[in-house]
Copies of this chain bind each other. A is one copy, B any other.
């Protein structure tokens, strides 16, 4: 069982595994055992264990509960769950659209925020 060994890769390709590992790291950083997290989330510890090992795709309710217990914003968890990355248009103008339609900002503020956003895009990746 040595040669065909399947030790966990440090960067799992499977989005389920990525999500699970992310949750496990967050839990360990919070110094919580599986049972403690189970008590906080009201989700059974065996299932949490399986989720962390990428054996199951947790439901929205479970993800929300975990995010809440670990004080991780839900969006980040869903991002880790591969929610926004696959079928969505990846060059998304979602951020621009959100800024433009944000009624809490004045027009000048929208303009400024878009400027900052676009400058970030240029500095980070130029080729697209």
Contact = CB atoms under 8 A, between A and B. Distances in A.
Contact of A92 (B94, B102, B113): B102
Interface stretch (A2-10, A22-30, A117-125): A117-125
A40 B62 CA distance: 27
A99 B98 CA distance: 9
Please state the number of chain copies in the assembly.
Answer: 2
The interface residues of chain A, by DSSP majority, are classed as helix
Given A57-B59, A59-B57, A60-B60, A74 B95 contact: no
Interface of A: 57, 59-61, 63-65, 67-68, 71, 73-76, 78-79, 81, 83-88, 90-92, 94-95, 97-106, 109, 112-113, 116-117, 120-121, 124-125
